[in-house]
Structures are given as structure tokens and as C-alpha cells.
Structure 1
Amino acid sequence: MPDLPQHRPVLAGARYSGMTGSGILLEALPEGHLLHVLGAIEPTALAAELAKVGLASSTIRKVGFRQWFVAGDEPLALTGLDALAAALAGKAFVTDQSHGRVRIGISGRSSRVLLSKGTAVDLDPAVFAEGSSAMTMVGHISVQIARTGDDSFELTVLRSFAESLWDELSHMAASAERG
């Protein structure tokens, strides 16, 4: 009997740390959980429901009209997903996207310069504040950009495009270092 496929993180701990002074750090984030929530529920009410099922440390990111991603570093057991689905019954639907999407962290004082090479989103903190998110393109790849701090961002990408996005970001980072 053939072995069942084993889960292998796409970027398997990939890390890019720019040259001293460049201020750019790219890192593959843990493949914890990523849930897609659709429905007429406000983020504050969603956060309350997440807390009730033990997901208070997860972040909520707007994806579109009445749609959010709920992201976290820890894998989610099926019982946790079932508990959240039951808590959201009648208000929203939830689907597990953990297997199909990957998160990449970008941080450092040159992180906005790097991202501006690949996207048209205005990343100025006055326009795109911490906690903001946007669906956009980085080069030819569809991603969600979320601002997680003053000089830090998280990109969520379809799993099959993660390595291509990583290569593109690495090239952009190297060119940002050269000036």
C-alpha cells in the first residue's frame, strides 16, 4: 500500500535577511491556520466568537464585502473548526483555507520600498494603517497584503504561487539593497 502524502511546508523555513543596513527581512511564517469567513457579521462580533472557541490570538483581515481571513500561527484541529462553525451558525460561514494558502512576513525599515516595487497599493501609514489589508497583485501574483506593524507586513498567497512570490520578493529585496 503506498504511503499517504505527507504535509511539507512550501517554503520550509525560508528566510531572507538583507545585507547590514538594508533593513529588509523576508520570512516564511508558520503554516498555522487560515480561515475564510463569509457573512453578515462585523469584525468585533467575529473577534468575540473567535475568543469563545480559543482563537483570540488570531488576526482578522478584510478580504472583500462581508469576507474576512482569520489567520494564526497554530494549526487548528477539526474540532476547533467545528466549534467555530457552530458559533457562527446563522451569522456567517467558515471554510478552512490553511492547506491552500501560505503567509510570508516582510519587515524592516525598507519594507515599504520593497513592496512598492511590486504593487500599486499606497502603503503610506497615513493611508494604509496597521491592521489594514488589501487584495492586490505583486507582479503577476494575486496576494493579500496586511500591515502588521509600522514597518512590517504579511502577504497571503495561494500555496501554488508561494515559491514564485518568494523568488520575486527576494529579487526585489536584492535590487532594493543596491539602491
Structure 2
Amino acid sequence: MVEQLSPLEPVFRPGSYGNFVDGVGVTLSEIAPGSIVQLAAWPGEEKKLMATIGSVTGLKLADGAGAGASSERCSAFGFAPGKFLVSDASEGLATAFAGKVTAAIGTITDLSHGRTAIRIGGPKSEWVLAKLFAVDFSLTAFPVGSGISTTHHDVFTQIQRSGPDSFDLYVFRSFARSFWKMLCHASDEVGYEVR
């Protein structure tokens, strides 16, 4: 196994920053899944692909735009019609799907080397994200497990709600450093902790 260096390393500085008048508004951290895979179903094959995601990860995906699920080990969500982002704490997810997703069902793209995963959590996480994206991040509109794909100034971002007050953001590795700095600036006025 080759150790992958984080693109955030030069700007990732653990500590507390910003305005703490009302306490810590958000925490920011890099999460490092062992595997990140994008799956795409051919038209009419979506249900078969969702069943395959369930058999490989143990997650049950509901029908509907942005539906998703997560466990301690895996997470998955639909981010476009017939397209899903799946992550696993361990390596080898693309290989696990390769034996089950046939060319008749759809395609597999291993994104492990090309994405950086960032978690934002805390009581002001919805508010900070709403400053950056034109999305309703309230718990009723964006329930736990669900996800979307969107952009901020042309930086493609896939977002999954990982808990009542936390979100996982997947960005292109080449944009990770500038995205991180922007996220820190957006969090400054509520006070943030980097862990």
C-alpha cells in the first residue's frame, strides 16, 4: 500500500480560529476513505445497480433523487439520475464492484485517487454551507444519508449529510486546497475548529 499524501497538508492547521463569542460553530476535518467509487447505471438498470450497491456495502438505498444511506464503514448516495457515489473505509471497493456490475448494468469509475473528502460538523454547519451553495440544507429538506452534486464558483462538489449536524463534501483533489481555504473563511465568523 502506497501512502497517499493529503493535498490539504500545506494549509491543514489543527486548532481553533475565528469568532468564538458564541462558542465553536463548526468543526472541519479531512476524512480519508480507503475507496471512493462512482457508479452509473444504463437507462432502465438503476434498480439492479442499487441492489448491487446493497449487496456489496450492506446499505439499503431508497428510490428518489439524492437518496442515500451510510454506516460506520460505507456510505452511498445518488447525485444524478442513475449515478451514485459510494465510499468505503477500506480499499478495494472498485474491485468488489467489478465482479458484480456487468457491462449490461452500467459503469464503475474508481475516484479514490482523484477526490478529497472533507467533513463539516456542528450547530452552524448548515448555515456555513448555505453561504456557499444555493441549497436548502435544513434537516427536513436534506435528511441524513441524502446527497447532491453542486458547484461553488465552478468547483464541483458532492455533498452527503452524514449526521444531524454534519456533512461530507467530496471535491476534486486538485481543487481541495483552495476549497479548504474558502471553507475556513466561510466558517470564520461562527468560530471553527480544525481537527
TM-score per shorter chain, which class?
Answer: 0.7 to 0.9
State the SS of the aligned residue for 1:122: coil
Aligned CA distance change for structure 1 residues 107 and 73 (closer, same or farther; 3 Å): same
Which residue of structure 2 aligns with residue 50 of structure 1? Answer: 57
Distance 1:173 1:83 in 2: 38
- Runs of at least 5 residues in structure 1 that lack an aligned partner in the other structure: none
Q: Which amino acid aligns with 1:88?
A: V
Please point out which of 133, 144, 154 is paired with 2:168: 154
Name the Cα RMSD after superposition.
2.5
Is 2:159 the partner of 1:145? yes
**Greater length-normalized contact order (CA 8 Å, ≥ 6 residues apart):** 2
Aligned twin of 2:147: 133
Alignment TM-score, normalising by the size of structure 1: 0.82
Identity of aligned residues (%): 27
Q: Which runs of 5+ in 2 are unaligned?
A: 59-70
Aligned to 1:85: 98
Q: 1:7-156 counterparts in 2 under 5 A?
A: 7-12=4-9, 14=12, 15=14, 17-18=16-17, 19=20, 21-39=23-41, 40-42=45-47, 43-51=50-58, 57-76=73-92, 81-89=94-102, 90-156=104-170
Q: Name the CA shift for 1:22/1:6 in 2 (closer, same or farther; >3 Å).
A: closer
Number of residue pairs aligned between Structure 1 and Structure 2? 167
Alignment-derived partner of residue 66 in structure 2:
none
One-letter amino acid matched to 1:95: T
Distance 1:177 1:50, change over 3 A: closer
